[in-house]
Structure 1
């Protein structure tokens, strides 16, 4: 009698499968829906001049992002905590490389590294992912001991946040720097830090913003953006014209919109960078108030599910999920706000919807972090997931 041994899946694969089964499918489906909706909006914004080129690139970026997220999900919680310092140091090295001759300047900001294969990466986007795991590593010890972070831990957390913020401001990229600061404040608050520390961090952030406005840190292009926000009539043939066209596109959408591919302003190509900075205006003009509201509802659902994952997770997972939720929330508020003329134009992309590989990769890595740590509930007694 011949016995045939049945192949047993590797332990790591079983752990990943368990995490996927225990993951928040609503969170995953919402992120995928936003990504695919982004493909539709990017196609509509760029088809008159480029056909399906940007659509194909957006879908390729999405496919790569999903593969990257899948690879990250292979790391269990202990492995993720082990690689967090290395990920943080690599992000600092990439941000420093941007300021070297390897970096490229676009719209007054030296934020990109052009790769030999024709792709470009924006290290500031990936720094958000690294900070979402590095900062919780600094503060989780206090949370696990059920006490507020002490002065040494808060100061170390300030250094961990401050280094990438300074490197990003040196590019200069004020929008990404503000996201990193907000992410740090959110995680610090979730760790139970005392209110004087939070007030101090907030005052420090305000001081940094004031310094950016009153010193030569910002480029002239970025100063022009802020000038137009304060005075919409300024620069009527440049940035002022652009923002006025965005508002006109949004207001012309009405209740149900002109229909995909039918928006007069969108299809005329009057709005530069509409597939990136102003993709929300495509939804508002061509899908109307109902379509724009659907986009907001999807983001609300996404952030609510991240909050639920934080509530269900252990201490480390809670801080990671709060970091990701804060990151997404700030970018959505800023991007939609600048489309509506309520916030200055900072160039921050709309998560999942805007065209851009670095943003898509970072957003899906953020989702993978939340899914990975969120699959370990407070009641788990065995942390060895895979």
Structure 2
């Protein structure tokens, strides 16, 4: 009996209660919006409820794994991910023009999703091993470790996931000691490139102009962002309709389950990538600000865990997972409001999908593991 009680206390101690409270609020809000997006409680609502339940237990299981054991899993997990990505490259299944899935016989998986965790895990392990003696060559080696999965995922093509993997990994490299001065030239090149893109948009977006290293659909997404009205019934339809939904919500919103754009099927992918448009139309500016506050609390809690971590590995992983949440939110809301191109990034804990929720559950579990970990005295 005493062992059972001790195990129960240990299992409960794995939770970071402030983080769990924020996640619980996000889940309730996500299921509320999902009910409106699907127009009731159909199979998608039931599936999402099941996905949240699975993600919760996955999060709990990961939270029980101490950071030293997570470090031991870093290298084999990364290697497994690379092998599976190579499997997708040579024997993957194609759907909707993209080869992103691998059939293992008993089921189909998307290896690129696991790299959102595997890449920062590997890089955090790498910088933990080189703590206190990081050299330029170490940063170059880390960039190679990051570039391999990024290139394989971008080639599928899946630019949205590739950017998320790159961002999660690059955050580890930056937090590992990369000087901000080295990033200034890259930032200047980005600003100049963006200005040139806007200035020459009428010429470079012509149908007979091809963009080097980008697929035609990616070119169309960028050109549609710059001028959605150029193809209002085609590539620009998603952006135009989502912007109409967000704007029509006004300050107070139209009311729960009263959104016309969503319930009249004008918003495409309203349960996944564009669920924020459903939310903004019904809850308005006030609701949008409340959602952003919840996300800010989630990210702040993650960064607080990073600041209090007892090891270099813990600080790097917690910081990376927190910034991954930020990028998810920034990219999704940016594309829904027409600020960024449509790249297929879900809104955390709001969009429908089991794989994305599993990844978010693992990330939350890692944060909880780092939060309650106390190394034993030697």
- TM-score interval w.r.t. the shorter chain? 0.7 to 0.9
Q: Are residues 201 and 160 of structure 1, via their aligned partners in 2, closer, same or farther at CA, if it must alter by over 3 Å?
A: farther
Alignment partner, residue 117 of structure 2: 129
1:112 corresponds to which residue?
A: 101
* 1:218-272, Cα deviation, whole Å (9 max, x unpaired): 2x33332222102111211112122111111111112221122110011011121
Correspondence for 1:191 among 172, 176, 186: 176
Task: Report how many residues are paired.
Answer: 363
The counterpart of 1:287, out of the listed 261, 264, 283, is 283
User: Structure 2, unaligned stretches of length 5 or more?
Assistant: 198-209
1:19 and 2:11 aligned: no
Work out which of the residue numbers 78, 82, 92 in structure 1 matches 2:82. Answer: 92
CA RMSD of aligned residues (A): 2.9
Aligned to 1:3: none
- d(CA) in 2 for partners of 1:381, 1:67: 24
Instruction: Choose the corresponding residue for 2:232, options 223, 236, 242.
Output: 236
* Separation of aligned partners in 2, 1:381 and 1:123: 33
Match of 1:250 in 2: 246
2:354 corresponds to 1:357 = yes
Residues 301 and 99 (structure 1), Cα distance of their counterparts in 2 relative to 1, 3 Å cut: same
2:3 paired residue among 4, 8, 14? 8
CA distance in 1, matches of 2:78, 2:5: 29
What is the rounded CA distance, in whole Å, between the counterparts of 2:161 and 2:9 in structure 1? 37
Instruction: Give distance in 1, aligned partners of 2:88 and 2:289.
Output: 37
Question: Residues 114 and 67 from structure 1, CA distance in 2 versus in 1: closer, same or farther, beyond 3 angstroms?
Answer: farther
Tell me what 2:165 maps to. 180
Between the aligned partners of 2:211 and 2:36, the Cα distance in structure 1 is: 39
CA–CA distance in structure 1, aligned partners of residues 186 and 169 of structure 2 = 9
Query: Does the aligned pair in 2 maintain the 1:38–1:354 contact within 8 Å?
Result: yes
Which whole-Å deviations, capped at 9, do the CAs of 1:38-81 have from their partners, x for residues lacking one? 22222212227xx5121111111111111212222232122111
TM-score relative to the length of structure 1: 0.85
| 329, 333, 340: which one aligns with 1:332 | 329
Partners of 1:325 and 1:80 in 2: CA distance: 17
Does residue 358 of structure 2 align to residue 373 of structure 1? Answer: no
* In 1, Cα distance between equivalents of 2:230 and 2:262: 23
Look up the SS of the partner of 1:83 in the other structure: helix
Query: Is the aligned partner of 1:31 residue 2:31?
Result: no
Q: Aligned residue for 1:66?
A: 56
Q: C-alpha offsets along residues 283-318 of structure 1, whole Å, 9 cap, x if unaligned?
A: 100111111111111111100100100011022111
Go from structure 1 to structure 2 and tell me whether the alpha carbon gap of 1:68 and 1:100 turns closer, same or farther (over 3 Å shift).
farther
Greater Cα offset, 178-187 or 340-349: 178-187
Taking structure 1 as reference, are residues 182 and 41 closer, same or farther at Cα in structure 2, changes over 3 Å only? same
Report the counterpart of residue 204 of structure 2 in structure 1. Answer: none
- Partners of 2:84 and 2:188 lie apart in 1 by 28
Kept after mapping to 1: 8 A contact 2:78/2:115: yes
Contact persistence 1:97–1:103 (CA under 8 A) = no
1:318 aligns with 2:308: no
1:198–1:298: structure 2 CA closer, same or farther, 3 Å change rule? same
Cα deviation, residue 116, structure 1? 6.4
- Give per-residue Cα distances to partners, 1:116-141, cap 9 Å, x unaligned: 67x75432222111123111001113
Unaligned runs of 5+ in 1: 1-5
